[in-house]
Chain A
Amino acid sequence: MDFGLDKKHEMARSLFKEFAENEVKPLAQEVDETEKFPRGTVEKMQKLGFMGIPVPKEYGGQGCDPLTYIMCVEELSKVCGTTGVIVSAHTSLCVDPIMTYGTEEQKQKYVRALATGEKLGAFALTEPGAGTDAQGCQTKAVLDGDQWVLNGSKCFITNGKEADVYIVIAITSVTEDKRGRKKKNFSAFIVEKDAPGFSFGTKEKKMGIRGSATYELIFEDCKIPKENLLGPEGKGFPIAMHTLDGGRIGIAAQALGIAEGALEATIAYTKERKQFGRSIAAQQNTQFELADMAAKIDAAKFLVYRAAMAKATQKVYSVEAAKAKLFAAETAMDVTTRCVQLFGGYGYIREYDVERMMRDAKITEIYEGTSEVQRMVISGALLK
């Protein structure tokens, strides 16, 4: 078991780190203050192939592995949680399901455009009545001739309105089981932004990742071509679950990056900040806090990387992904909170990045499966 990265991955990391430092970091505070989607940064990333890192070359991607993609999300998130999640949602939640379940035509049409950066992707499962209880979803899709007609709404959709391609989960039939209980059957669809009957509602005002566009999606007799059914009809729920397994690894990487960025800033600050005639880094409490955080971050890192490796080599990686997301998200929240504390009064001031990192960290415990859901997945596997 080799815990080090090979030269190829080290070089990839240095690329992402350099890009993050030069192109993303200088804008992070402004993106947060103005809540503006960093379109300029996204365009730069699109040109460099960052939006198709794990996609095979034959579909316009970079031909790298999940680990390389995860490191990109990590390095971006160290300086800006918003930018990290844009790449993660696009790649794990939109590109990945089409790569996994799409027909050759769908892959050539959509994956190519998404991976080369021509288009941005998103994923829509959540509804006002369907969060953790995803089966509470009410959006319906009905086949009418050679079109599917969608009716309903989705909420809290990352990359909403900015994205061109949306994976939408909707009910396509209701069946009865042996006991006469009604069962909803879901299907997955690829919906393009300009589909007739597709519009956007509220843009959410959030605690953190404020530059990430979080929108309500509205479907009013929205018509999409028959060919835009993704995977078999009725298989929408397993498709969504598989997609979220991959997405969890991306969010775990985002959380890891946020925690690392916070710790780095705090180490530098505690060395400089003087009280009682010496730097606060000379105080044992500070030292012990930093040590605790460093150990937790390392543990999170190995869980995240292990999950990425599992995605590359295993058919099923739900538990690895759940452990990584659970631990990394809770670590990010814990670390950023402690970092704000170590910064003292300055930690509360928006000019210092740590308060933004703490606000950004919180969502990682919630979206793409709350920490409670992760616990359900892990214990479910233990008690099988």
Chain B
Amino acid sequence: MKIVVCVKQVPDTKGGVKFNPDGTLNRAAMLTIMNPDDKAGLEAALRLKEQYGAEVTVVTMGLPKADEVLREAMAMGADKGVLVTDRVLGGADTWATSTTIAGAIRNLEYDLIITGRQAIDGDTAQVGPQISEHLDIPVISYAQDIKIDGEYVIVQRQYEDRYHELKAKMPCLITALSELNEPRYMTPGGIFDAYDKEVTVWGRADLKDVDDSNIGLNGSPTKIAKASDKVRKGAGEKIVAQDAEEGVSYIMGKLKEKHVI
């Protein structure tokens, strides 16, 4: 079985957020991590590999330094890494991103594609399902459990206070929730091996069946009008109440006053 896992290198919120003049993130200047939902997707793929036998290829689109997130994935147990990087691909919104990634995946063999539900920087949850549309394969999103049954996947899709169980024929795409599992640690040996491996690097020219008008900042239907860091709020008001009753009355009064309730 061949599994492709899409991962994204995202800013580590601990390090603070930096923007370019055009409102897009200045990724090169920030501390980075592997997107948590993607890491869960990778862990799911590695467990399927252990259980059923599979080759796991991780794909990422990003700056050259996104190589780090591929190495991390390989140190956890992924077999191969593909970095899709090119200046013309930068500034992409979800449409352009999914077009690009689909263009890369068309060069690979796959039975299953796993992406994270959403990235902590964009929070759109669009790229995974969009990739499935570009590749014309079924998608099951919000996976909280994945099983293989011959040519089919059986997935529990999270839905508020319950879940749906769906069955789809492979090839298909699944989006993973960070609640899906507890991702494993890398091993020291895994890290050393990962850095000994070759990462495949692809640029614009390697994307299959992709139009220039659909990639990069210019190919993005969504344009960022303005971006800013969180506004630091004031210290707030601390009240010392005589008892719970008085405290609650006061808070209720304030909430009504500010039209919160």
Contacts and interface: CB of A to CB of B under 8 A. Distances in A.
Contact of A8 (B185, B187, B191): B191
Contacts of A12: 188, 191-192
A4 B58 CA distance: 28
A64 interface: yes
A18 B186 CA distance: 10
Interface residues of chain A: helix, strand, loop or mixed (majority): helix
Interface residues of B, number: 14
Contacts of B72: 11
B195 interface: yes
Interface string A56-73: 010001111000100010
A64 B189 contact: yes
Contacts of A300: none
Given A7-B68, A11-B72, A11-B75, A61 B191 contact: no
Interface in B148-200: 185-189, 191-195
A48 B186 CA distance: 8
Contacts of A18: 185
Interface residues of A, number: 18
Interface residues of chain B: helix, strand, loop or mixed (majority): helix
A21 to B, nearest CB: 12
A143 interface: no
Most buried by A among B186, B188, B191: B188
B9 to A, nearest CB: 13
B233 to A, nearest CB: 19
B71 interface: yes
A15 B188 contact: yes
A50 interface: yes
Interface string A8-31: 100110010011000000000000
Contact of B192 (A48, A50, A63): A63
Interface in A26-54: 48-50, 53
A56 B189 CA distance: 10
Contact of A49 (B71, B189, B194, B195): B189
A57 to B, nearest CB: 7
A57 B68 CA distance: 24
A62 B75 contact: no
A135 to B, nearest CB: 37
Contact of B189 (A7, A11, A61, A72): A61
A91 to B, nearest CB: 12
Contacts of A8: 191-192, 195
A61 B187 CA distance: 11
B187 A11 contact: no
Contacts of B186: 11, 15
A204 B192 CA distance: 39
Most buried by B among A12, A18, A19, A63: A12
A63 B192 CA distance: 8
Contacts of A63: 189, 192-193
Interface in A114-169: none
Nearest to B67: A7
B185 A64 contact: no
B187 A62 contact: yes
Contacts of A49: 187-189
Contacts of B185: 15, 18-19, 48
A72 B185 CA distance: 14
B71 A64 contact: no
B39 to A, nearest CB: 12
B191 A15 contact: yes
A-B residue pairs, 3 tightest by C-beta? A62-B189, A8-B195, A62-B188
Given A8-B195, A49-B187, A64-B191, 16 more contacts: A11-B72, A11-B75, A11-B186, A11-B195, A12-B191, A15-B75, A15-B187, A19-B185, A48-B185, A48-B187, A49-B189, A50-B188, A53-B188, A62-B192, A63-B189, A68-B188
21 contacts: A8-B191, A11-B68, A11-B72, A11-B186, A11-B195, A12-B192, A15-B185, A15-B187, A15-B188, A48-B185, A49-B187, A49-B188, A49-B189, A62-B189, A62-B192, A63-B192, A63-B193, A64-B188, A64-B191, A68-B192, A72-B188
